[in-house]
Structure 1
Amino acid sequence: MNIKLISFDLDGTLLNDQHQLHEKTIEAVQAIRQKGIKTLIATGRMYISAKPYVNSLEMKDPVITYNGALVMNPLLDQEIYHSPIPLDIAKDISKRLKEGNYYLQTFLDDTLYVAEKNDFTLKYENIAGVEAQVVGDLTEFMDKGPTKMLIIEEDESVQIEIQNFLLDNFSDEIEITSSYPSFLEITKKGISKAVPLKKYAEENNLKKEEIMAFGDGLNDLKMIEWAGQGIAMENAHPGLREAADDIAQNNNQLGVARYLNDKFDLALEIEAEVEKEKN
């Protein structure tokens, strides 16, 4: 393998189910960079939510957030690329979802906004480590296109109903994907993690065959399919595992660190830590 760039998802990939980044994972990513391989994060998270992990990993390359809708320079905290949902489309979606009494979150200026807080809000706040801002009617509140909109619905049949409704009415304007089973994540048409990853590769004269990508959710699918080496986690969505070139072990068992250690001969002491994690 002549890999020159590796892209990592966060939740379910680099992070365990408690949203923690293990020191051995940090050590493995740093060892990869010492071999001259570039590393970057590609996540569905907000930038402010991803930044603590970016800092812990000492990432210097662009951070892909909101499933590809916002790319940031982590050294300067400056925007490199931003492609929000058009305001009129966002307002229409918000209005119709409110009529159906569905739960919706919107993200503007890297801030989370909700009409009111409930258990879904608390669930997201716990995952993301951010606090939602309550603004009442989201349709009236939005004065510009949001970076992303997020529906949380735990009933699978209702989730399918919502997704079908959105596709029937907005398929030409939006993308719908998911990073968690109860999430429906909406971005502008054409947005995916693969888009900025491909752009970064072109800017750095990298071929897709020289790029490896790790992920676990459907929001990683296009990135995994595009990369020369797409690696799905053992805990990944079945559709992602099917599309991947290889499988890394479970995210709760240092899957990424173990894969990197094996494939790139990093000679790190990891297996003892895996046994500790099991116990």
Structure 2
Amino acid sequence: MKTKMIVFDLDGTLLNDEHQLDSKTIAAIKLLRKKGIKTMIATGRMYCSAQPHIEKLEIKEPAITYNGALVVNPENQESIFHAPIPFKIAKKITKMVEENNYHLQLYINDTLYVRHENEITEKYTKISGIAPNSVGSLNDFLEEEPTKMLIIEEDEAKQIEINNFLKQNFNGEIELASSYPSFIEITKKGMSKAVPLKKIAQRFGIKQKEIMAFGDGLNDLKMIEWAGRGVAMQNAHPELKAKADDIALNNSNLGIARYLKKEFKLDLELN
């Protein structure tokens, strides 16, 4: 079956280890479109964080952001799908996380809010290109439904503790995902990159088996499983690689460009 649409994760997939797009990767995506193949981004990032990369790639198709919770039309910046976390649930989580002194980030109207800036926010800004807004107590600040909530914790034992706590107290009310080892990403129950992808494919009249998807993190799992061909990066989480139909080379070794050149016979010079 001919591939009609390809969906790409950003960090660890399209982007190299410096979180940048290589010129060869950009060229490969543009050559795909010349062949009539639609190209899309599906990321855990904020839309404003993904936007510079989308513009470099000249992608016009809807951008799936926040692990599926927000889809934006990059041509007019309008939201075409939004599924935020219900307010009561978000409020409870915020209160509990702050009481336990964990680092929490709230994403509301594509803006990042934190209690205060620290080493964690500095690292996050380097990755995302987005500076946070410090607002003091997030529990006092929160007055509307957030698109996503993010707890960042480097300590593995504490990560397990937090995940278990969230599962025990909010089972059936939230979706947990992780795009980085230290990230615990919270969205509305049932949300994943696959949810809006199914809707977009239907709108374009593209069948499931005509879609290819690339990813590296556990937040890509449902998308990789659903796509006609799910491709994991060599640097991907072991669970994702086990579920993928194929493996592309490492993201820092032009894995996407090399895979696409071979698969679609692209006229692209690679070292």
2:16 counterpart of 1:16: yes
Instruction: Tell me the amino acid that sits aligned with residue 111 of structure 2.
Output: T
SS of the equivalent of 1:180 reads coil
Distance 2:3 2:106 in 1: 37
Give how far 1:142 is off.
1.1
**Alignment-derived partner of residue 251 in structure 1:** 251
Amino acid at match of 2:113: Y
Amino acid at match of 2:225: E
CA distance in 1, matches of 2:110, 2:133: 12
Q: Alpha-carbon deviations, 1:166-219, whole Å to 9, x = none?
A: 011112110000000000000000100000101111111111100000000000
TM-score for the superposition, normalised by structure 2 = 0.99
Amino acid in the other structure paired with 1:9: D
Amino acid of the structure 2 residue aligned with 1:150: L
What is the rounded CA distance, in whole Å, between the counterparts of 1:176 and 1:40 in structure 2? 23
**Structure 1: unaligned runs, 5 residues or longer:** 273-279
Q: Deviations over 1:110-159 (max 9, x none)?
A: 01000111111111111100110000111111111100000000011110
Q: Which residue of 2 aligns with 1:136?
A: 136
Aligned amino acid, residue 43 of structure 2: T
Residue 226 (structure 1) shift: 0.2
Percent identity between the two aligned chains: 62
Residue of structure 1 in register with 2:101 after alignment: 101
Partner-residue secondary structure (3-state), 1:139: helix
Alpha-carbon distance in 2 for matches of 1:182, 1:57: 28
Residues of 1 paired with 2:23 and 2:171: CA distance?
42
Aligned-partner Cα distance in 2 for 1:86–1:134: 23
RMSD (Å) for aligned C-alpha atoms: 0.6
How far apart, in 1, do the equivalents of 2:211 and 2:118 lie? 41
Q: Structure 1 residue 22: deviation in Å?
A: 0.4
Match of 2:79 in 1: 79
Asked if 1:6 corresponds to 2:22, the answer is: no
Provide the residue aligned with 1:56 in structure 2: 56
Q: Which residue of 2 aligns with 1:192?
A: 192
What one-letter code is carried by the residue in structure 2 that aligns with 1:108? Answer: I
* Structure 2: unaligned runs, 5 residues or longer: none
Q: Which residue of 1 aligns with 2:29?
A: 29
Please list every run of at least 4 consecutive aligned residues from structure 1 whose deviation after the TM superposition is greater than 2 angstroms: none
Question: Secondary structure at the residue paired with 2:44?
Answer: coil
Equivalent residues in 2 for 1:1-279, closer than 5 Å:
1-270=1-270, 272=271
Cα deviation for residue 245 of structure 1 reads 0.2
What letter is aligned with 1:49?
A: S
Task: State TM-score, norm by structure 1.
Answer: 0.96
Counterpart Cα distance in 1 of 2:120 and 2:146: 19
* Aligned amino acid, residue 83 of structure 1: A
SS at match of 1:71: strand
Distance in 2 (CA, whole Å) between partners of 1:228 and 1:234 is: 19
In 1, distance between residues paired with 2:215 and 2:139? 33
Question: SS at the partner of 2:230?
Answer: strand
Give 1:267 deviation, angstroms.
2.5
Number of residues of Structure 1 aligned to a counterpart in Structure 2: 271
